[in-house]
Amino acid sequence: MATNLTVRNVFKRRWYNGKVKEKFKIKNRKSLEIVGILSIPENPKGLAFTLHGLGAFKEHSNTLVMAETFFSESYTVVNFDTTNSIGESEGKYEDATAQNHYEDLVDVITWAKKQTWYQEPFLLSGESLGGYASIRYAEESPLEVKGVFTLAPFIAGELSLKNKEISHPEHIKAWKETGWFEEKGTSKPGVIKRLPWSHMEEKLKHDIRPDASKLIMPVCLVVGENDHPETQKILYELIPNKKELNIIADASHVLRTPEHLDELKNILKKWLEKMK
């Protein structure tokens, strides 16, 4: 389990109408700094963790919609940047892995358990690799988790590679040959994201399908119509009960239009209504 999870510098606390938002910094098990935002409503009805995907950050539009929706529905929200991302946390993006994403979530939850505002069972939410980490945690600690809400979660390295070979065969070919995949950041203009081929090799070791039967809590899967929804259907069929799959028309892996983001918000709000 995680070690060295001490708060280094809690700051920028803002109180308004009985609510509080603050930025926190903790050290993960590898002594890298994790930076996040803690939002506490006036009368919390529960706790929710949100986690961005690979190449994103806590203020990414998809993740922010989830975090703000939870908060508007009176949930305490922990929204943070993983290490080795393009957010405020420490580490190099080229060192990002699926395991790193998951371990950072575990480390943040371990820290949260020692705080006065902690509540259990809690909700988990995430997009892409953040969805993978959320589902994996729920599989390994089902009694701690009240529900899981994910947007296009990464399910298995095998399926991810297969989908990329279908949709972007030229990218995969070049990645293998050069050893690197490079792209410009769209959510943060000017940022160049580079990943070694070893990133994909590491992903091939991960698969949440074998333990999907342990997802005894409500699970909501959301995916864009143009983002291989058939892959999400594979996971959906493996979840025993209390599940739903929502497909957003004309959307891809990242939701970019106001209409798609509004739909994500409405799906989450309706799902939370069922959690009461």
Considering Cα of 271, then 272, then 273, then 275, what sign does the dihedral take?
Answer: positive
CB 107 within 8 A of CB 99: no
Which residues touch 24 (CB under 8 Å, ≥6 apart)? 7, 9, 10, 35, 36, 37, 38
Name the token pair of 199: 């990133």
Neighbouring-strand partners of residue 37: 23, 79
Given a cut of 90, whether residue 48 has pLDDT beyond it is: yes
Q: Tens of pLDDT along 189-241?
A: 788 999 999 999 999 999 999 999 999 999 999 999 999 999 999 999 999 99
Decide if pLDDT at 263 tops 50.
yes
Q: Return the C-alpha torsion angle 86, 88, 90, 91, nearest 10.
A: 0
3-state secondary structure of 100: helix
Interval 22-38: pLDDT, tens: 999 999 999 999 999 99
pLDDT tens per residue, range 139-167: 999 999 999 999 999 999 999 999 999 98
Q: Above 60 in pLDDT, residue 275?
A: yes
Would you state the pLDDT for residue 18?
Answer: 55
The span from the CA of 251 to the CA of 218, in Å, is 24
Q: How high is the pLDDT of residue 9?
A: 39
* Rounded Cα gap, residues 254 and 204, in angstroms: 22
> What is the per-residue pLDDT for 10?
41
User: Span 127-137, mean pLDDT?
Assistant: 98
pLDDT greater than 70 at residue 17: no
Q: Enter the pTM of the model.
A: 0.92
pLDDT at 276: 73
Eight-state DSSP code of residue 60: S
Mean pLDDT of the region 124-132 = 98
DSSP string, 152-218: S---BHHHHHHHHHHH-HHHHHHHHHHSEEEEE-SSSTT-EEEEEHHHHHHHTT-BSSTTGGG--S-
Strands 122-127 vs 145-151: parallel, antiparallel or unpaired: parallel
> What pLDDT band is residue 4 in, cutting at 50, 70 and 90?
very low
| pLDDT tens digits along 63-120 | 999 999 999 999 999 999 999 999 999 999 999 999 999 999 999 999 999 999 999 9
Amino acid 190: pLDDT:
82
Let me know: does 233 contact 35? Beta carbons within 8 Å: no
pLDDT greater than 50 at residue 8: no
pLDDT at 7 over 60: no
Burial degree of 35 (CB within 10 A; 0-12, 13-18, 19+): buried
Number of neighbouring beta carbons within 10 Å of residue 269: 13
CA distance 22 to 198: 36
pLDDT band at residue 253 under the 50/70/90 scheme: very high
Query: What angle, 0 to 180 degrees and rounded to 10, lies between the N-to-C axes of helices 157-167 and 169-178?
Result: 110
Residue type, 84: N
Residue 1 has pLDDT above 90, yes or no: no
- The band of 183, judged by pLDDT with boundaries at 50, 70 and 90, is confident
Q: How far apart are CA 247 and CA 227, in angstroms?
A: 9
